[in-house]
Every structure is written in structure tokens, then in C-alpha cells.
């Protein structure tokens, strides 16, 4: 994988997290042919005949779950564009799930998702920006994209990353056996039969598709922000969650999944879509550890990618040492301290930090809390929107990987040759590698030598 400047790339160019207007940007030699495949203008102008920069109103068609999407297309077919390549912008409504679906559609038509900094590199090569500007962007990519990928994987929920690693591992093993059969034909080792191969390929395909499904369903009803409820067990997090959502008609879903290690509720707070994450469910199920240790462990992953934490304390009890430490660690824009059960409270138990006093019973303080949440979130410029396209990236890679495995099964069924199956599996691994890490030939050789006694 590298930055091939002759590929046609696409990315979401609008501000992340549900801006009013959504913008998709494309650049590369195939821009026109790709748009011809998925865009129809209101007037019948043929895109390929367009030389001058222009804007065309029309629709993107064939977008999953959405069908036709009205949009405005801005097209530069000549080197006058920012990248000096044919370039287009599609302006449409700023809904993240819809933009993701549009991205997938455009990729189906032959574009590739842009890597971080790729537009910048092209703009530099086009002489539009200077080296210092280009370096400033390119220099921080690795750190940022690692963080993004990690966030995306966590957000796509517990279990997915583990399952992906398992699939990758299974395919690597399978490939090692196939490669051993190809490279070490004279060795006295038993090679895999066609039937066994089919069984394992099918398994790998099903598993990849299952993960793909999970990513798809989890990625879709996505809120703009992620708010995590934290605190020791029984401080009243769940009641607070219910109180916040019950009063509000905007509940989207409330599920307790087997593969999820947390409960989420999606709600709208003063016009901001957000996912409220309660970590209580699982923490009660883990015995033998102190409740605080458990709470700490379970929520760590969630905290890592939360836009905001609500740290809940029971106002009828004095603070534990752990609670004091945690409150000190909260930063102003990433965390709020919420005191619960204020209806049972007789005196001020706590002072110093800014505390929002609430009661899930009397609903006291909930409006203040909502307003504080909204204020804290609006000051957040990044949001989880960055993850949206990382999600599409995972999705795209998984889809291609599943396709490659499916093709390898056809090759196997027709006995067209193990070297072709291996070629497909290599392609599948490369796609999975984009999501969970890269492999080298040596990985496969290592597996061969640890499994088989090779040595003619």
C-alpha cells in the first residue's frame, strides 16, 4: 500500500460530525468515468464533454439504503484544479451515515478511499502548496491514523477486532499449508485435501462476512458524539441514563448485545445527537475483583474514545480515594462531575470542583446537566466524525477480503490450481492487513517451518 498518485481517490471533505453540508472530494484521472457511472445530472449534459469548470445539479444513484441522493456536482476536468488532476466535489446533505454510503458507492465505481494527507501530497506535486505546508500535514499522519484506526476498532465494538485477528490468523495458517504444498512438494508431509480446504475457506468467508455485517449494522445508526457514564457501581448511573432518556422522545435504540460489553442509548440533547454509554451492565457480572477495579477496566476502552465523560458520584456517601483521584484527572472539556441522588442529600457533601447535582427521582438538575453536556460537546471540534470514514475503510477492506475468499472457493471447486487460491488469499490478507496489521512473506514462512519438518 502506498500513495499512488495515478489512482483516483475520494474522501469526505466537509467538517466531521454532521455539518450542515456534506462534501465529497475526488481527484484522479478516472474522475469523469466514475461520475458517469453513479451521477445523473438534471440536464442531460455529458460530463466527458465538459472542459470548463462547472457546477451541475443532479443525483447520485445506486447508493445503499438511500437510493437517489440529490446533490450539486462541481467538476474540474482540466489541470486547473487544486491537484492539477481531474477533480470533483459533490455537495450534499451533511448526514454522516449517508456520506459513508456515498463513499462506498463511489468506491464501487472505481475510486479508492484517500489515505490521510493524500490530497495534500497531490496539491504539493501540483505546485499549489509549498514543501513546508506539505510536510506539516504529512509528518503527523502516522500518529493520527494509528489513533483513528484504534478508535474506530474500539467504537465498532468489543469483539470485532478480536474476530478479525482470528480470521487473519486462520487465513495465514491456511496459506502456510497451501504454500508448503507448493514449495515443498518433495517433502514427506500431508497436504491439505480439497474438501478440507473448502471447509476452511467457507469458514473464513463466513466469519469475514459476519464481521462485515457487524461493522455495517453498528456503523450505521451513528450519533455525532459519544458520552460515557462512569463511576463506581450503584452510584446511580443507570437511573441517570434512564432519567435522561425517558424524559426525551428521541430514543433510537437501547440494546444489550452479547458481543458488546456496554449498554448504549442514543438520544438527542438540545439538538445534538449523541450516544450515551453506560458501562454498568458488565461490571456487575465480574466477581472476585473489587468493584472499582472492574469499573476501571471495563470503561478504559470506552474512555479512550469518548467525547465526554460524566463521572457520577453518590452524593449520599463520602468520596472514596479512587473517586477523588479520578475527579482530579478529569479535564474541563472532556469530563463533568455529576452528583446523583441529590434528593436524599441533606448537606453539601462536596465542594471545590464544579459539580452538577442531579436526582433521577425528582428530575432535579437534569436540565442543567443537558445544557452542560451540550456546551462541553459544542466546544469539541473533532467529534467522532473522523471515525466515519475510517469505518468505511474497514468496511471496504472487509468487503473486498470476503470477495477474494469467495473467489478462492470457486477456484477450489473447479480445481483450477492451488497457486490461484493462494493468490486470492494473499489479496484477502492484504485487505485485512489494512485493518488489523500488515503481514510479510516471512510470517508465512515462519508458520511453515514451525509446522512442517522441511529438509530435503
Partner 1 sequence: MMDSVNACEYEFDVVVVGAGHAGTEAALAAARMGAQVALLTTNLDTVGQMSCNPAIGGVAKGQIAREIDALGGAMGQAIDATGIQFRLLNCRKGPAMHSPRAQADKKAYQQEIKRLVEEQENLFLRQEVVEDIVTSGDAQAQQVCGVQARGNVIYRAPAVILTTGTFLQAVMHTGEAKSSGGRAGEGSTQGISGALNRMGFRLERFKTGTPPRLNGRTIDYTRTEIQPGDDTPQPFSFLTNRLEVEQLPCWITFTNEKVHDLIRQNLARAPMYSGQIKTTGPRYCPSIEDKVVRFSDKEQHQLFLEPEGRATQEVYVNGISTSLPRDVQDQLIRFIPGLERAQIMRYGYAVEYDFCPPDQLTPSLETKRVKGLFFAGQINGTTGYEEAGAQGLIAGANAALTLTDAEPFILQRDQAYIGVLIDDLVTRGVDEPYRMFTSRAEYRLMLRQDNADRRLTGLGHRIGLTDNVRWQHLQAKETSIVRTKALLQANRLENVTLEKYLRRPETKWDELAEHLPELRDVPSSVSQQVVFDVKYSGYIARQDVQVARQHRLAEKRIPRTIDYDRISQLRAEARQKFREIQPVSLSQASRISGITPADIALLMAHIEKPSK
CB of 127 or CB of 271, closer to partner 1: 127
**Which of 42, 142, 348, 364: binder of partner 1 (CB under 8 A)?**
142
Answer yes or no whether residue 125 interacts with partner 1 by CB under 8 A.
Answer: yes
Answer yes or no whether residue 437 interacts with partner 1 by CB under 8 A.
Answer: no
Answer yes or no whether residue 135 interacts with partner 1 by CB under 8 A.
Answer: yes
Segment interacting with partner 1 (CB under 8 A) among 255-263, 303-311, 346-354, 421-429:
421-429
CB of 93 or CB of 189, closer to partner 1: 189
Q: How far apart are the first and last CA of the chain?
A: 36
Answer yes or no whether residue 444 interacts with partner 1 by CB under 8 A.
Answer: yes
Q: What are the beta bridge partners of residue 320? A: none
Q: Which three cell numbers stand for residue 403?
A: 470477495
Q: How far apart (Å, rounded) are the C-alpha atoms in residues 430 and 410?
A: 20
Q: Which residues are within 8 A (CB) of 109 and not within 5 positions of it... i.e. 6 or more apart?
A: 34, 35, 37, 38
**Which of 76, 124, 225, 357: binder of partner 1 (CB under 8 A)?**
124
**Which of 19, 126, 202, 330: binder of partner 1 (CB under 8 A)?**
126
CB of 90 or CB of 444, closer to partner 1: 444
In terms of Cα–Cα distance, which of 49, 27, 33 is closest to 110?
A: 33
Answer yes or no whether residue 186 interacts with partner 1 by CB under 8 A.
Answer: yes
Neighbouring CB atoms inside 10 A of 235's CB total: 25
**Which of 258, 331, 346, 415: binder of partner 1 (CB under 8 A)?**
415
Answer yes or no whether residue 426 interacts with partner 1 by CB under 8 A.
Answer: yes
**Which of 42, 286, 300, 449: binder of partner 1 (CB under 8 A)?**
449
Minimum distance of partner 1 from residue 171's CB (angstroms): 14
Answer yes or no whether residue 260 interacts with partner 1 by CB under 8 A.
Answer: no
Minimum distance of partner 1 from residue 180's CB (angstroms): 9
**Which of 131, 287, 347, 381: binder of partner 1 (CB under 8 A)?**
131
According to DSSP, the β-strands at 112-113 and 9-12 are parallel
Answer yes or no whether residue 456 interacts with partner 1 by CB under 8 A.
Answer: yes
Minimum distance of partner 1 from residue 273's CB (angstroms): 32
Q: How far apart (Å, rounded) are the C-alpha atoms in residues 148 and 349?
A: 40
Q: Strand, coil or helix: what is 70? A: strand
Answer yes or no whether residue 177 interacts with partner 1 by CB under 8 A.
Answer: no
Q: Strand, coil or helix: what is 261? A: coil
Q: x/- contact string, 80-99, with partner 1 (CB under 8 A)?
A: ----x---------------
Strand order of the sheet with strand 263-269?
Answer: 254-255, 263-269, 272-278, 225-230, 308-314, 335-340, 355-357
Backbone CA torsion sign across 76, 77, 83, 87? positive
> For cell 494509528, what's the residue?
146
CB of 140 or CB of 332, closer to partner 1: 140
Q: Which three cell numbers stand for residue 129?
A: 502548496
Minimum distance of partner 1 from residue 427's CB (angstroms): 8
User: Which of the residues 2 through 21 are near partner 1 (CB under 8 A)?
Assistant: 2-4, 6
According to DSSP, the β-strands at 263-269 and 272-278 are antiparallel
CB of 122 or CB of 230, closer to partner 1: 122
Q: How far apart (Å, rounded) are the C-alpha atoms in residues 138 and 121?
A: 8
User: Which of the residues 188 through 217 are near partner 1 (CB under 8 A)?
Assistant: 188
Answer yes or no whether residue 287 interacts with partner 1 by CB under 8 A.
Answer: no
Neighbouring CB atoms inside 10 A of 225's CB total: 24
Answer yes or no whether residue 410 interacts with partner 1 by CB under 8 A.
Answer: no
**Which of 17, 28, 94, 117: binder of partner 1 (CB under 8 A)?**
117
User: Which of the residues 348 through 367 are near partner 1 (CB under 8 A)?
Assistant: none
According to DSSP, the β-strands at 225-230 and 308-314 are parallel
Q: Annotate 280-346 with DSSP letters as a single string.
A: HHHHTT--SS-HHHHHHHHHHHHHHT-SEEEEEEETTSPPPHHHHHHHHH--TTTEEEEEE-GGG--
Answer yes or no whether residue 440 interacts with partner 1 by CB under 8 A.
Answer: yes
Largest CA distance in the chain: 84
Interaction site with partner 1 (CB under 8 A): 1-4, 6, 84, 115-118, 121, 124-127, 131, 134-136, 138-142, 145, 179, 182-188, 414-420, 422-423, 426-427, 440-441, 444-445, 449, 453-456
Amino acid at each position: 500500500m502506498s500513495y499512488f498518485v495515478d489512482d483516483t481517490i475520494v474522501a469526505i471533505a466537509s467538517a466531521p460530525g454532521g455539518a450542515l453540508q456534506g462534501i465529497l472530494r475526488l481527484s484522479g484521472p478516472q474522475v469523469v468515468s466514475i461520475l458517469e457511472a453513479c451521477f445523473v445530472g438534471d440536464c442531460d449534459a455529458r460530463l466527458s464533454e465538459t472542459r470548463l469548470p462547472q457546477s451541475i445539479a443532479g443525483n447520485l444513484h445506486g447508493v445503499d439504503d438511500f437510493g437517489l441522493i440529490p446533490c450539486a456536482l462541481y467538476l474540474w476536468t482540466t489541470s486547473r484544479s487544486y491537484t492539477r488532476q481531474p477533480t470533483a466535489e459533490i455537495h450534499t446533505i451533511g448526514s454522516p451515515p449517508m456520506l459513508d454510503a456515498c463513499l462506498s458507492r463511489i468506491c464501487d465505481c472505481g475510486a479508492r478511499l484517500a489515505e490521510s494527507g493524500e490530497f495534500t501530497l497531490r496539491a504539493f506535486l501540483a505546485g499549489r502548496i509549498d514543501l513546508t505546508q506539505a510536510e506539516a500535514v504529512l509528518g503527523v499522519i502516522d500518529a493520527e491514523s494509528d489513533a483513528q484506526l484504534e478508535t474506530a476498532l474500539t467504537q465498532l465494538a468489543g469483539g470485532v477486532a478480536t474476530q478479525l485477528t482470528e480470521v487473519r490468523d486462520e487465513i495465514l495458517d491456511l496459506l502456510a499449508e497451501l504454500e508448503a504444498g507448493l514449495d515443498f512438494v518433495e517433502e514427506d508431509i500431508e497436504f491439505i485435501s480439497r474438501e478440507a480446504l473448502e471447509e476452511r475457506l467457507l469458514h473464513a468467508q463466513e466469519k469475514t462476512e459476519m464481521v462485515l455485517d457487524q461493522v455495517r449494522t453498528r456503523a450505521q445508526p451513528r450519533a455525532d458524539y459519544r458520552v460515557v457514564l462512569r463511576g463506581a457501581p450503584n452510584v446511580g448511573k443507570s437511573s441517570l441514563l434512564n432519567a435522561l432518556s425517558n424524559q426525551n422522545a428521541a430514543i433510537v435504540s437501547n440494546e444489550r448485545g452479547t458481543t458488546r460489553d456496554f449498554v448504549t442509548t442514543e438520544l438527542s440533547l438540545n439538538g445534538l445527537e449523541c450516544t450515551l454509554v453506560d458501562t454498568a451492565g458488565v461490571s456487575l457480572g465480574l466477581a472476585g475483583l473489587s468493584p472499582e477495579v472492574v469499573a476501571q477496566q471495563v470503561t478504559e476502552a470506552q474512555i479512550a474514545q469518548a467525547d465526554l465523560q460524566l463521572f457520577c458520584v453518590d452524593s449520599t456517601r463520602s468520596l472514596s480515594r479512587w473517586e477523588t483521584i479520578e475527579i482530579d484527572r478529569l479535564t474541563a472539556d472532556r469530563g463533568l462531575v455529576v452528583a446523583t441522588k441529590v434528593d436524599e442529600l441533606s448537606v453539601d457533601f462536596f465542594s471545590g470542583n464544579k459539580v452538577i447535582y442531579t436526582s433521577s427521582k425528582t428530575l432535579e438538575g437534569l436540565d442543567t446537566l443537558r445544557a452542560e453536556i451540550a456546551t462541553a460537546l459544542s466546544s469539541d471540534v473533532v467529534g467522532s466524525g473522523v471515525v466515519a470514514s475510517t469505518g468505511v475503510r474497514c468496511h471496504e477492506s472487509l468487503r473486498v477480503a470476503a470477495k477474494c475468499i469467495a473467489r478462492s472457493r470457486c477456484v477450489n471447486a473447479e480445481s483450477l490450481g492451488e497457486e490461484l487460491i493462494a493468490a486470492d488469499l494473499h489479496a484477502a490478507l492484504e485487505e485485512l492487513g489494512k485493518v488489523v496489521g500488515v503481514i510479510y512473506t516471512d510470517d508465512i514462512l515462519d508458520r511453515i517451518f514451525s509446522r512442517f519438518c522441511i529438509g530435503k
